[in-house]
Structure 1
């Protein structure tokens, strides 16, 4: 069995790695080709090119790199066409992955295609599902409310659980070792997570630094820890030097329990850019404040397309609005700092988030079959159909 995989961001690489392990467990003779990052490489994928070349988000950010991204899309699609795999699996990054699927399907009309991570049609651009159905046969959904939306558009779809629900959390010994290694003692820790893309870090970094300045002025006993990923670690380290509180920057490592997981579990509260990191924090039980802004052009477009009153997955999955958000022009220290300070002591804000995070993890599949196995079985069943 031959599987062609396409991932474009660190979160997609993690999904792809778990899927590859699941497919190998269910179909030991499987062969992998395509594009991925370090996690997928560890599972045996030799990427066509470095995945970080695709990690870009937002209209204004994509436009300057459009020609380079298009060349990579054509290269990827043509490699899939030449490989003639049993299935092409595009993972998240729909703007890139679905263009690959469209080009592949045009050349090989009977090619089976799967997209992993349903696009957020419940939030914006609902017509994407119908367009996706033209080139995708089957969808693997991370959120329990997504399958009916995909099925209504003409695709089969299974909820396979979210991988964060299956990630082992550090124990007390791991947390103690992390604190000792970084000289953190017993201090309360604030986590700062400015994003996983270079443009995002450049925009959010100054706002987060100013917010931390206000928080530390009120609570000088706090320590600041900045978990990050390899793709932006250099930028984050350079930026954190100018932040108050002598932040400790920790980078995701290849083996569990990673420094980042231990950092999450050590946190009292977190200031985070909008994204899937909200689920990482929920898995560790760390209350959070979400801040996010974009290039003015991207902000303008999104303000007219987004259909929901929240973008945070913890709020959506738990069906609450427990996590405070400061988006667009509201993403400023005046709002972020008081919200973060409110989470540092026991009270209604902290209790509400704790309950919402527990509900989120339960609904995403904590305690069930690992998502990588569920995703692999779903793909194999779709091929049998």
Structure 2
């Protein structure tokens, strides 16, 4: 079996490596991989056509500045797929690149195309599903509510589980060591997660700081811990200096940039998530990390005025928090756009400290629905790919 697999960023590299492992386990006979991937996929035996950092580009200005180079890589990748004539092309996330490759491949061949990670058509721009269907045969979805959207557009769609269910969690020993190392004792702890991009950290930091100051007035026993993302760690240190409370900032740059230091930083972050009594977090997939650690949360996010107007008109869901969407509840309080203000956020944090049970149940339900305790998502994805291939071959023989 020949598989061309394409990932263009670290999260896709992680999914791709797990999928490769799953295909080796589940596919009959040998599996020959070619394609583009990062270090995890290379460790699984992939000889990447070129480094993924050449196509891992986000943001309109960044894409425009590298448009010609990206266009060349899209053409090069499509030509490589067509020349390889694999049994299946699997593209992973990064739709701006992957779906353009798929379009070129489908225009020149009948190679089966599987796209891993459904676009968020349930949240906004539902028309993307119909456009995808012209050159994608099957979608592998991370969330259980996504298949109907893809199937309505004419694609097979399989829910395969979310990778968060396989992420290691800190043990009680790890938590005790973390608290001891940072002198936290048994004090109740609030985790502060203002994002990983400069724009969101800059916008959210004043709101988060003011909200936590109000909380601290009511609960002076609380300790605050902020695990900073490496790209914004210096900025975070500057911004929190003016806060009415001084959080313990976990700086992942400390200890150097080697693999050992990165692993230690990740372990410390996991311990902080598990040690916290609650969290104030920017909107995003971090809500699933918190749910996996069983840490109750309040979610808040804001953007510039123009983005508020555009996204507010396009948004099709009543909640942007994944825990709420997966569990079918409104258990996680969220303060988005003009609602992102210190006073209501502080009230929600204090209420959550007093009564976390409803949210704890919603988080457990979320993890269950995302596949916790079942087969690993990489294996489920592999079985879905093989089932789709078998179905397509059976259709051809009819």
Deviation at 1:50, TM superposition (A): 4.9
Task: Report the 3-state secondary structure (helix = DSSP H, G, I; strand = E; otherwise coil) of the residue aligned with 1:54.
Answer: coil
Deviation at 1:64, TM superposition (A): 5.5
Aligned residue among 223, 228, 231 for 1:234: 231
Corresponding position: 1:370 with 2:376: yes
Mapping of residues 132-171 of structure 1, within 5 Å: 132-171=132-171
Query: Which structure 1 residue ranges, 5 or more long, are not aligned?
Result: none
Contact kept in structure 2, 1:23 and 1:377, CA below 8 Å? yes
Deviation at 1:142, TM superposition (A): 1.3
> 1:356 corresponds to which residue?
362
369-378 vs 244-253, which moves further: 244-253
Deviation at 1:116, TM superposition (A): 1.2
The 1:43/1:299 distance shift into structure 2, 3 A limit, reads farther
Q: Distance in 2 between matches of 1:272 and 1:73?
A: 36
> 2:35 corresponds to which residue?
33
> 2:279 corresponds to which residue?
270
Q: Distance in 2 between matches of 1:173 and 1:67?
A: 48
Contact kept in structure 2, 1:2 and 1:31, CA below 8 Å? yes
The 1:17/1:95 distance shift into structure 2, 3 A limit, reads same
Contact kept in structure 2, 1:240 and 1:247, CA below 8 Å? no
Deviations along 1:71-126, one digit per CA (max 9) or x if unpaired, are: 325414422422434433222233343223223333x3323211111122222211
Contact kept in structure 2, 1:216 and 1:245, CA below 8 Å? no
> 1:91 corresponds to which residue?
92
Q: Distance in 2 between matches of 1:150 and 1:138?
A: 9
Whichever of the two has the greater Rg, that structure is 2
Task: Report the 3-state secondary structure (helix = DSSP H, G, I; strand = E; otherwise coil) of the residue aligned with 2:66.
Answer: helix
> 1:284 corresponds to which residue?
293
> 2:269 corresponds to which residue?
260
Query: Which structure 2 residue ranges, 5 or more long, are not aligned?
Result: 253-260, 393-398
Corresponding position: 1:247 with 2:248: yes
Over the aligned positions, Cα root-mean-square deviation in angstroms equals 2.8
Q: Distance in 1 between matches of 2:231 and 2:247?
A: 16
Q: Distance in 2 between matches of 1:39 and 1:255?
A: 19
Contact kept in structure 2, 1:3 and 1:88, CA below 8 Å? yes
Task: Report the 3-state secondary structure (helix = DSSP H, G, I; strand = E; otherwise coil) of the residue aligned with 1:226.
Answer: strand
Mapping of residues 1-385 of structure 1, within 5 Å: 1-27=1-27, 29-36=31-38, 39-45=40-46, 46=48, 48-51=50-53, 54=56, 56=58, 61-63=59-61, 65-68=63-66, 71-83=69-81, 84=84, 85-106=86-107, 108-228=108-228, 232-243=229-240, 244-249=245-250, 251=252, 253-254=262-263, 258-344=267-353, 346-347=354-355, 350-384=356-390, 385=392
Task: Report the 3-state secondary structure (helix = DSSP H, G, I; strand = E; otherwise coil) of the residue aligned with 2:239.
Answer: coil
- TM-score between the two structures when normalised by the length of structure 1: 0.86
Deviation at 1:285, TM superposition (A): 0.9
> 2:396 corresponds to which residue?
none
Aligned pairs, how many?
A: 373
Deviation at 1:241, TM superposition (A): 4.2
Deviation at 1:282, TM superposition (A): 0.9
2-11 vs 174-183, which moves further: 2-11
Contact kept in structure 2, 1:253 and 1:259, CA below 8 Å? no
